[in-house]
Amino acid sequence: MIQAISDLSGRPLILLGAGGHARVVAEAATACGGEIRGICDPSLFEQGVAVWHGIPVLGGDDYLESINPDDVWLLNGVGMMPGNRVRYSVYRRLSQLGFEFPPLVHPASWVSGSATLGLGAQVMAGAIVQPGADIGCGSIINTGSSVDHDSVIGAHCHIAPGATLCGDARVADHAFIGAGATVIQGVSIGAEAFVRAGQVITRDVS
């Protein structure tokens, strides 16, 4: 885990995926001073699309095998839905090839200096991450959500827009906290759990 950063000016960036989440990630990265070299998406490449929302289409997944992982950073624009491991599979495969996914912190969010973010973690606009919080690699703290003090979010989780985690909450790997849900202080959410939108969780969920 590393301390939260939002400066993406160190290397050129390559965006992965071409859905709605990818558009949000691209704008956040640009707001952080990042230079997006292009996008890799098999579907766009097969359709012959040359430019996607102003970003050059570099190719499909094979393109990344032709470049040096030390020359770029990757942005995971693949969204996450309950039970869908595509986003995680992309992160795992490309990390094993030596590529690095930097943390992404939108400048319109607030992340405490004592919070920590894993590689590939993404904190979107309007989100709040309070002191002592620990966000695992690849996890999304989505638009307007709140992670309060000393909460621990595992790897590859999704805290959906508007969700609230009170202090000392625990969320294990691959869990999905739905939009507008509330997890009361000290409650633990188990690995791969799915908390539905708007639910209020007052006791542990396996």
pTM assigned to the model: 0.94
10/156 Cα distance (integer angstroms): 24
Asked if residue 65 belongs to a domain, the reply is yes
User: What Cα–Cα distance (Å) separates residue 66 from each residue in 83, 91, 97, 98?
Assistant: 31, 18, 11, 13
Which pLDDT score is estimated for 68? 95
Which pLDDT score is estimated for 61? 81
Query: 128 CB contacts (<8 Å, ≥6 apart)?
Result: 109, 110, 111, 145, 146, 147
**What are the per-10-residue average pLDDT scores of the chain (206 residues)?**
65 95 96 94 93 95 91 96 91 96 95 95 97 97 98 98 98 98 98 96 94
Query: 67 CB contacts (<8 Å, ≥6 apart)?
Result: none
- CATH number of the domain within which 57 lies: 3.40.50.20
Asked if residue 15 belongs to a domain, the reply is yes
Asked if residue 183 belongs to a domain, the reply is no
Neighbours of 124 (CB within 10 A): 23
118/111 Cα distance (integer angstroms): 13
- Which residues is 170 bridged to in the sheet? 152, 188
Query: 168 CB contacts (<8 Å, ≥6 apart)?
Result: 148, 149, 150, 151, 185, 186
Asked if residue 135 belongs to a domain, the reply is no
Domain coverage including residue 89:
2-96
Tally of domains in the chain: 1
Per-residue DSSP letter, 130: -
Asked if residue 78 belongs to a domain, the reply is yes
203/138 Cα distance (integer angstroms): 26
Asked if residue 44 belongs to a domain, the reply is yes
Which pLDDT score is estimated for 6? 63
